[in-house]
Chain A
Amino acid sequence: MLDGLKDIIRKSSIHVCLVNTGGCNGCDIEVVALLSPRYDLEQYGIYVHNNPREADVILVTGAMAEQWRDKLQRIYAKTPEPKVVVTIGNCPLTGDVFNQEGCSVYAPVSDFIPVDAEVSGCPPRPTEILAALLAVGPDAIAARGRQKL
């Protein structure tokens, strides 16, 4: 019963940490647009918090600049279990236009930390980000919590 109760609570209280690892900012402002009354992220119980120590979901944007190669793993380690990683945009997938000769990016992000969901697009529409978050977030966090306990 306790598990069931925890599942319900966890599903409606998701804290999100947004980490830009070297993108153009476009995906970040689409996440900010998600907060707007039109998309209203908070009606699903999702709160963009930007604090890795309290987060359930890490949203990664950007193509892994040099400075993030060790820092991203540290942020991942600081985030408490259960956690979900969602990458937004083409940059964390392939490096997008930055991944050419002479660049200083080290995409993909999945080389560094395990990734649960990937949203492609440059940048993806806010609705797509929202759909991915809702598809992977609540249930995975509830299920992982059960495994852990």
Chain B
Amino acid sequence: MILPIGPVHPSLKEPLRLKLKTRGEKVLSAEIDYGYIHRGIERVMQGKTWQKGIFLSERVCGICSYIHTQTFAETFEKIAGEHAPIRAQYLRVLTNELDRIQSHLLANSTYFKAMEHETLFMYMLALREPVMDAIELLTGNRVNMGWNVVGGVKMDVKQVHMDSIMAIMVKLESEYGRYVEMFEQGPLVGLRSKDVGKMTRDEAIKARAVGPIGRASGLEHDIRQIHHTYRDNFDWKVVWRDEGDNFARTMNRFDEIWESISLIKQVINNLPPGDVRKKIDIPAGTAEWRNEAPRGEVTYSIETNGNLIKNISIRTPSIMNIDACAKYMLNDVATVADAVATYATSDPCIACTERVTILDESGKYLDFHGVHNIKSKLKG
């Protein structure tokens, strides 16, 4: 029997159709329909200046909105062959890591909600609010910040703001371990999470899984390792595990938050003086730039004629992770409830993924089942 879930469904926050092939309560395989929130961002960006494009790039995704503007700006900086001033680079790291903390806490809270652990869900959201305050203090907005420009960041910060963010981080660090322990040691959440939705390392490579989902399956890959700011200035390590189940993915996100807190402290303690923005003349050219979003590797490739964006292609991590979830994690899951929890742990962000819609000759919209299922016979 085929069980359709979505696009509007109690277990989903965003519109997407999940078709589960079930026998009794057991889920045999799954398939995914995309295309509900395709807005045509790449097409809208064409023929615009970067000053307009950077606001559009921010609205590719609301949860990881910051990293999109940073990648957009750094792609233009690469075309010009320059880097932002060092103080701006440090502030970018600061905002990126704050954004990563709130995104990981939100992702874990969604997972706890999906496996019906309301207490941890509330704890995660309660931990997240002070981090949102820190983001607002730094950039002036909670979600879409408008903080990056080509050549630096928009505003300088004051020491009093840095002290407040440091206080928030110290408080988070002292409280946070308790909740991690609650998940790690809890026998019942362990039963719901361990050995559910397993993906091996080979499958992760085949599915091109990135970010915490790939790292939880043993892919020790983090694009921050080769990013010039992180590589040259900061002391940190890549967090990875090799179990590849729901427990590992959740714990991987928890552990990455420790690294992010440490990075934020390093930024605040060693913030160099200087300008936060410089003028950059952009020549005609093409460039590609990668960054580590909270969900994995995000790639921008931009072609410009020096003034306008001629062509832009955005590759977001969620599309690979959702495909990996449908193809490899949702195989032989014991119950439908576990399948929904597994889907939630792959941290799906549908707004990111919608780059394409497929039409037939008459202009009618066709269902797009993801790259792996493009020739699938399963129809819902």
Contacts and interface: CB of A to CB of B under 8 A. Distances in A.
A50 B10 contact: yes
A88 to B, nearest CB: 12
A28 interface: yes
Contacts of A20: 13-15, 36-37, 350-351
Interface string A60-83: 001101111001000100000000
Interface in B95-115: 106, 109-110
Given A36-B129, A97-B59, A98-B44, A25 B349 contact: yes
B23 to A, nearest CB: 26
A65 B35 CA distance: 9
**What does DSSP make chain B's interface, helix, strand, loop or mixed?**
loop
B125 A25 contact: no
B61 to A, nearest CB: 6
B26 interface: no
Contacts of A67: 35-36, 38, 357, 365
Interface in B260-286: none
A100 B58 CA distance: 16
Nearest to A72: B8
A104 B39 contact: yes
B40 A103 contact: yes
A71 B7 contact: yes
Given A37-B125, A101-B44, A123-B144, A29 B39 contact: no
A123 B122 contact: no
A32 B41 contact: no
A26 B65 CA distance: 8
A49 B10 contact: yes
A98 B129 contact: no
A108 interface: no
B43 interface: yes
B68 to A, nearest CB: 10
Contacts of A122: 144
A74 B63 CA distance: 28
A65 B38 contact: yes
A125 B40 CA distance: 26
Interface residues of B, number: 47
Interface in B338-361: 349-352, 354, 357
Interface residues of A, number: 44
Nearest to B352: A25
Contacts of B80: none
A96 B44 CA distance: 12
Given A33-B125, A97-B55, A65 B62 contact: no
A21 interface: yes
B32 to A, nearest CB: 15
Interface string A7-28: 0000000000111111111111
Nearest to A39: B129
B40 to A, nearest CB: 4
Interface string B196-210: 000000000000000
B117 interface: no
A25 B61 contact: yes
B125 A36 contact: yes
B9 interface: yes
B35 A29 contact: no
A140 interface: no
Nearest to A62: B37
Contacts of B41: 98
A68 to B, nearest CB: 7
8 contacts: A20-B13, A51-B8, A51-B10, A68-B36, A98-B44, A102-B40, A122-B144, A123-B62
Given A23-B62, A102-B40, A103-B40, 12 more contacts: A20-B37, A22-B38, A24-B58, A26-B144, A33-B125, A35-B122, A36-B129, A37-B125, A50-B12, A51-B8, A98-B56, A102-B44
Interface of A: 17-30, 32-33, 35-38, 49-52, 62-63, 65-68, 71, 75, 96-98, 100-105, 122-123, 125
